[in-house]
A and B are shown apart, each in its own frame.
Chain A
Amino acid sequence: MQRIGVFVCWCGSNIAATVDVDAVAQAVKTEPGVAFSTNYQYMCSEGGQAIIRNAIAEHKLTGIVVCACSPRMHEATFRKTAATAGLNPYMVEIANIREQCSWIHKDREKATVKAIILSRAAVAKLNLDSPLTAGETPVTKRALVIGGGIAGIQTALDIADAGYEVDIVEKTPTIGGKMAMLDKTFPTLDCSACILTPKMVDAAAHEKITLYTYSEVEKVSGFVGNFTVDIRKRARSVDADRCTGCGDCMEKCPSKKSKSEFNQGLSNRSAIYIPFAQAIPNVPVIDREACIKFQTGKCGVCQKICSAKAVDYEQQDEIMTRRYGAIVAATGFKTINLGRFEEFQYAQSPDVITSLEFERLCNAAGPTKGKVMRLSNHETPKTVVFVQCVGSRSTVECGKTYCSKICCMYTAKHAMLLKEKYPETEVYVFYIDVRTPGKGFDEFYRRAAEEYGVRYVKGMVGKVAEENGRLRVQASDLIADKQLVIEADMVVLAAAIEPDPSARNLATLLTASMDTNDFFTEAHPKLRPVESPTAGVYLSGVCQGPKDIPDTVSQAGAAAAKVIGLLAKDKLVGNPCVAGCNEPLCNGCSACELVCPYGAITYEEKTVMDHGVREQRRVASVNEALCQGCGACTVTCPSGAMDLKGFTNLQIMAEVDAICR
């Protein structure tokens, strides 16, 4: 028989305002096994924990039930408390009377009844608990960073500087990401390439960092400390070891009609190409869809002229299997497709462009060598209208409900850059709100509005139409309460940003959760912002939510710190709540093996005693190091042979009985 202590927490007024905590403590006193019960203002505080420790000693308790917040919040805290008082930490049960009771109910009487029911269910479960001991697993001291933009680069550099090996897997032919496409950065207007390319070089040169560009993660198995990952290195068709990066092949390539991804399709590139001059690695890749040799078999010019004999048409994709202790997702973002925002005529008019396209037009290495021009006639625009929140903070189906966070600032930057280059230009910015909560941000915006004379108009653009070679912009000015019509030469749309489409597949591979917008979810939105709820998986950059470069770099460093903390350990304490097979009941059907997401179940031939009869049988066997205790096998097993330690079938039934009593 257990001797159980029940500790009911007020959580200040969080629980006590809705649940009569004293009534709960009194009611459970009569439950079987309960030797002691009490309530206290904050059980998790030092005072509360002391009450628990003293009660364990004084009443010789064999287990405790804490009626408080979600076990996700403080289960670990109370297990530690129990352990310091000499109890097995798994002899602790949490009754969640906050998130699942006081926070969601208003009627104090009914909520109190529910809290009592939840508490007695926990007592019923604890009566069947037995002490568990966690095993240990070693940690592979190597990290994988997925995505080679500024987020991935910074995370990798920070981990590598702490002395651990890091691999960066980047799906495009070069690292650098979106930041490499930017001309200037806010709020200091320094050149993006000048601050990014040294970091790219550092990452490539770092002895602890290995780059896998033009590569993708294909399969992930294992668990925190011991991931096994298959990486597909796509065939570049160029031998990176031989290539000298001379660029002759790109010059001579006769297929030059492919849209340059780096220049947002505003210029063309050859089929064999290096995305941009500072690309790392500085090794071309053949776009096989565009290559004449691959499409028709006739050409081969690049191979003929390559003096280093680096061009290799036979090169195949290569799958590498590597092991990691930690994985960081840094998959970044893209701008949303504006094809469905027809009111802005983006798909119809060449003079309606996105902000990222504008960025390329401003850039000295861009398609126009830094000249801002109308793409329809190559003239310098005299009137430019910037439209913010295109698809952000939107309630229409093709838009996003969230704020993309970066647009207010980069639009102010664009307006200033334009005024700086062409002071005579008339510049309008249409906004819903101007949001400038970063350091030096509001000063930056005010400079645009006050010193540069950019005309900020609160209101949205309703229609853009091409008329007589110009753009007729219809908009409303909400402060003056009037309709405006502006004859503009160029319209720049601050398109909402969304997670890179590759993130969805990656989330499945990592069993990491996502929100409805496909941003990775963090383990706790405030207290664990760089960790995914999946142990060993960390988040860096926009894949977790919209953010600018300063925020991205901070978060990248934070993710690196978490990874370093993990890799610094030699061993990880495992989870003792693992599945086990009751062999006499197992009929060898394989149902559990099929549902196990961790590949932890195998089958073996065993001699089994069944009702006194010795039999040779095929039975399930659980690898406890791989099992994560998800319980899928226990609910699948048709004969009830699979059981989960700490959550046995008997315990679950006891809880149900206690609730239904």
Chain B
Amino acid sequence: MKTNNLDNFSDERIMNLLTPRFAPTTNLEFKAPTSRRRTLWQVARIGAVAAMVAVAVFVGISGVQTSTARDIVERALTQLLESDNCLVRFTANVTENNNSGELYDVDFDGTPMQGTLEIRKEDSKIKMAIKWQDDERSMELYDGQTYRRYQNGQLVLERPDEGIDLTPLTSLEKLKPYAAAMGLLLKFREEDDMILVSTRGDKVEIVARFSKSKGCLLDAECSGLYNGQQVTVLTVDQIDFNVPPAEE
């Protein structure tokens, strides 16, 4: 009997030793993807250039979540929300898409091509345009209802397209659960004046660099693992706000 009591007591001690007292917690959220609209993250996975650039910009702006970086985020977000437009100059490795999707696919084996993405707010709607520096001076427009492709100034393709849903990216509160629901993890680390924000998805990693002192996003890069190496497929070279519309 004594032995049994001792065993019970000892068992209790073993259980106490094994029972976690300092277990960390997580904020991960899982939600089934909805197919109602194409979302940025879904599009990013299939390599749409526009989405990838937009993701880089918006994630970069919205992804810094530490208390020390909070002010920077708020300032950057305010800058975005108060801007009528945002112009992103980028370089992407692309191959021509022969299907009826976007003009180019981002591709590890692709050819580097420069482009400009313009995100414009008009009456609470967000419109996007990509201008490519290719021989045809291609331009792709998304107005939330239609996708239009112009080459050499001529409309060559038009189809209904709900566009890319930027709604979740208008505030930190919306972005955080949205990214988590899509299975993307936002990570950040600080280096001197820089805050680096990165995402982890199934194929593409996006890293955005922030300036603490300037309180804005400096640049962003999309890369992925290809043939055992991390290959950069898209680089955001410059981001400007409130740029007057160019005459076409």
Q: Do A and B come together as binding partners? A: no
Which B residues fall within an 8 A CB radius of A? none
Residues of A within 8 A of B (CB): none
